[in-house]
Structure 1
Amino acid sequence: MKRSVAGVLMLMALGLAYAKDRPMSGVSEKVSVASRGGKVLVTLTVSNKTRQPIYLWKVTYAGTQLFGPEFDISVAGSAAPVDYIGPMVKRAPPGPDDFLKVEPNGVHRNTIDITASYDFQPGKQRYRLSHTGSYVTDLQQLDHPVAMKPASTVFTHTQVAQPADE
């Protein structure tokens, strides 16, 4: 009897450990893109419809510019990627102060201008942008981020060709 209780407890502990890395069913991310005035503005909206807070990395979810290739962008209808050409910043591992809290039943929204960060083709093009966000549920376990279901959208952007240097 003691062995079966210990076995059941061990299986429950393994199940709980596994569940920590699986997305919670009430957390979702929506990505939208507005292309206007020559700019490409990406808005990330994270909804937390759970009973516990979640924590989002401030660099992505509160920043105004990119410091690495955060989004996967391709020409719509093809696999041709749009290269990231923005700044690359090497960072120390994030600490608890690097995260923002989204309360239970809360929503957080952030808009980032990615115009200069990706090599958009001259002229009018349709693009597909994808993002896989992540969150943590415990600021003491930052090394266990939980990936959200990938979000994507298609948008049209007109990139004005830059004059060639003479």
Structure 2
Amino acid sequence: MKRSVAGVLMIMALGLAYAKDKPMHGVNEKIAVASRGGKVLVTLTVSNKTAQAIYLWKVIYASEQLFGPEFDIKVAGSAAPVNYMGPVVKRAPPGPDDYVKVEPNGVHRNTIDITRSYDFLPGKHRYQLSHTGSYVPDLQHLTDPVAMKPGSTVFTHTQVAQPAEQ
């Protein structure tokens, strides 16, 4: 009997260690892109359908602009990347105040204007945008973010050529 209990406990411990690196069932991210009025607006919606709070990094989930190449954008139907040309900010490792809390069974939504952050082609084109979000289930373990299932969407954007600077 002691061996059976010890064996079950060992299997449970291994399962918990394995689950730590896996996304929690019930946490997901949806990506929507709106291209209107010459702008490209990306909305990230994270749903937490679990019984515990999760924490999202404010830089991507509570900011209105990008500070690094968070999204992978390609011309749809090709491997041609759309280069990131926005600001890149070097940061200290994030602390607990750098996260936004999403309560159990809660939803968090943020919209970011990426129009000037990526080198969209002049004229009308279709693009594929991909993003792999992450969260931390515990503010005591900020160095162990958990990746969400990668999300992707296709959108059409018309980039009006900017007049040359004089």
User: Which category of TM-score, normalised to the shorter sequence, fits these structures?
Assistant: over 0.9
> 1:8 offset after TM fit, Å?
4.3
Structure 2 unmatched runs, 5+: none
Matched with 1:47 is: 47
Distance in 1 of aligned mates of 2:165 and 2:44: 36
Matched with 2:34 is: 34
**1:143 aligned partner, one-letter code:** T
TM-score where L is the length of structure 1: 0.94
**2:42 aligned partner, one-letter code:** V
Matched with 2:82 is: 82
Matched with 1:147 is: 147
Percent identity reads 83
Match status 1:18 vs 2:21: no
Q: Secondary structure at the match of 2:17?
A: helix
Matched with 1:112 is: 112
> 1:13 offset after TM fit, Å?
1.9
Q: Secondary structure at the match of 1:116?
A: coil
Distance in 1 of aligned mates of 2:164 and 2:139: 49
Q: What are the within-5 Å matches in structure 2 for residues 96-135 of structure 1?
A: 96-135=96-135
> 1:4 offset after TM fit, Å?
6.0
Matched with 1:60 is: 60
Distance in 2 of aligned mates of 1:76 and 1:11: 45
C-alpha offsets along residues 136-157 of structure 1, whole Å, 9 cap, x if unaligned?
Answer: 1010011111111111111000
> 1:7 offset after TM fit, Å?
4.9
Distance in 2 of aligned mates of 1:112 and 1:98: 17
**1:17 aligned partner, one-letter code:** A
CA RMSD between the two structures: 1.4
Count of residue correspondences: 166
Matched with 2:91 is: 91
Match status 1:71 vs 2:71: yes
**2:76 aligned partner, one-letter code:** A
Distance in 2 of aligned mates of 1:3 and 1:87: 58
Distance in 2 of aligned mates of 1:105 and 1:112: 24
> 1:135 offset after TM fit, Å?
0.5
Q: Secondary structure at the match of 1:115?
A: coil
Q: Secondary structure at the match of 1:17?
A: helix
Stretches of 4+ moved more than 6 A in 1? none
Q: Secondary structure at the match of 1:143?
A: coil
Q: Secondary structure at the match of 1:117?
A: coil
Distance in 2 of aligned mates of 1:52 and 1:2: 33
Matched with 1:160 is: 160
